Amino acid sequence: MTPAAPRRRRSPFAPQVLPDGHRHFSHRAVLARRAVLGGLLLSGVGGGVVLARPAGEDPETVAATGPAPVPPSAPPDPPQPVAPVQTQPTAVEGPSRTAADSPWVVVNKQHPLQPREYAPALAVVGGAEVAAVIAPDLRALLGDAERDGVVLGVASGYRSYERQRAVHENAVRRDGLDAAESLSARPGYSEHQTGLAVDFSGRTRPRCLLEDCFAQTPESDWLRAHAGRYGFLLRYPEGATAVTGYDAEPWHWRWVGTDLVQRLAGSGTATLEEFFGVSGGTGYA
């Protein structure tokens, strides 16, 4: 970032970050975000973000929230088929992409964890629980960053199935199904449940915690330059919502190991879905 660069305005739907690292979206913020998502849909970007799934399809959620009210005079919506990103499976030698404890596991809205209640062996790094398998690399990353004068923290690591269920149910109750699901994964579908994903915080701009403006911090610059050497991949890059199912999250890094980071870098693809030829996207399977 140059000194002349304009400071980015806080997003109109910027959430309030709660002490537990989760985000609270005001009603106004949710409306703003809906408006933005609606614009994206109309412009053909991120197709199927929220309209792709017929309302009330998911019995669990309907049971929690009740069916969406439909005005009696409204014409029925035409069916909106889910259009997951389909690619050809790629033959890549290496660890499993479906085993929940594999460093290469792909978890997205098309591919839940198996079993859905999976829980990894845990370790505590930076005050947060993460999968034990990533602890050495994560500790090395944090220590080397600090030696470079960059203070990173672990805002969120492992999140259990039960914890994710509570987060998701609260979000649906508060914001409605569509708005909630553009932000919050269903339990069993969150990469955080593997323990392999880390949301980093930075010291220089605390207000950018879990915010788009984290991308303009020195901590983000350091991660982009060095995190790959510790096996971490920027999991939700800019412009890949239709592939990953999530908007850009510059703070969310996924440990996959250095071997896969290098292979991805040499492949010209940025996402696990594209590299492996695994389906993804914004609609749930």
- Minimum Å gap between C-beta 249 and Zn ion is 6
Output the CA–CA distances (angstroms, integers) from residue 64 to 36, 156, 164, 185, 239, in the order listed: 27, 26, 15, 16, 33
Q: In the numeric block, which tokens belong to residue 134? A: 């990533």
What lies within 8 Å, CB to CB, of 16 at 6+ separation is: 23, 24, 25, 26
- Minimum Å gap between C-beta 197 and Zn ion is 5
* Residue nearer to Zn ion on the CB measure, 47 or 210: 210
* Residue nearer to Zn ion on the CB measure, 169 or 199: 199
Q: Would you give the binding string for Zn ion spanning residues 193-222, x where CB under 5 A is met?
A: ------x-----------------------
**C-beta separation of 241 from 46 below 8 A:** yes
* Residue nearer to Zn ion on the CB measure, 22 or 53: 22
5-13, 51-59, 138-146, 245-253 -> range binding Zn ion (CB under 5 A): 245-253
Q: Would you give the binding string for Zn ion spanning residues 145-184, x where CB under 5 A is met?
A: ----------------------------------------
Q: Does 252 bind Zn ion (CB under 5 A)?
A: yes
* Residue nearer to Zn ion on the CB measure, 47 or 255: 255
* Residue nearer to Zn ion on the CB measure, 186 or 252: 252
**C-beta separation of 270 from 246 below 8 A:** no
> Using CA atoms, how far apart are residues 58 and 51, in angstroms rounded to an integer?
14
Find the angle CA(117)-CA(121)-CA(124) to the nearest 5 degrees: 115
Whether omega before 76 lies within 30 degrees of 0, making that bond cis, reads no
- Per CB under 5 A, residues contacting Zn ion are 199, 252
